[in-house]
Amino acid sequence: MADSTAGKLQIYEIEERTATAVTCIVRCVAGVVRTGQHFSIDSDTGSNVIAAPLILDWINRYERLVDFIDPPHSAKVHMSGEVAGTLERGATLTAVTVGE
């Protein structure tokens, strides 16, 4: 279920990419985004199309590792997961709760 205060990131630029990891410049567009959170990729229709979550490994702001970002700030982030290599500029990622 989507939470209106869920953290959301929009990808501005991809800097490095492998099949399972990506380093990119993002903008926080909603909520507070924290390291360790899981994210899904939003589709154009507003539903989350990728079930496999991405994990936010680190956030770098002004050459300093930080624990969180909030709107309207930007940062360099590193994310990992099975679908990390599919991320593209403009994609929106929404924080999700991973069930046990």
Share of residues in the chain with pLDDT > 70 (%): 84
Judge whether 60 lies within some domain: yes
Judge whether 85 lies within some domain: yes
Over residues 13-28, the mean pLDDT reads: 97
| Residue 73's CATH number | 2.40.30.10
Judge whether 2 lies within some domain: no
Judge whether 1 lies within some domain: no
81: left (phi over 0), alpha (psi -120 to 50) or beta: left
In the predicted model, what is the mean pLDDT of the chain? Answer: 88
Nearest to 35 by CA among 21, 54, 52: 54
pTM of the model: 0.85
- Asked if the model's pLDDT at residue 52 lies above 90, the reply is no
53 prior amide bond cis, ω within 30 = no
Domains: count for the chain: 1
- Asked if the model's pLDDT at residue 28 lies above 70, the reply is yes
Tens-digit pLDDT profile for residues 60-85? 999 999 999 999 999 999 999 999 99
Judge whether 74 lies within some domain: yes
* Boundaries of domain holding 82: 8-96
Nearest to 95 by CA among 23, 20, 1, 8: 8
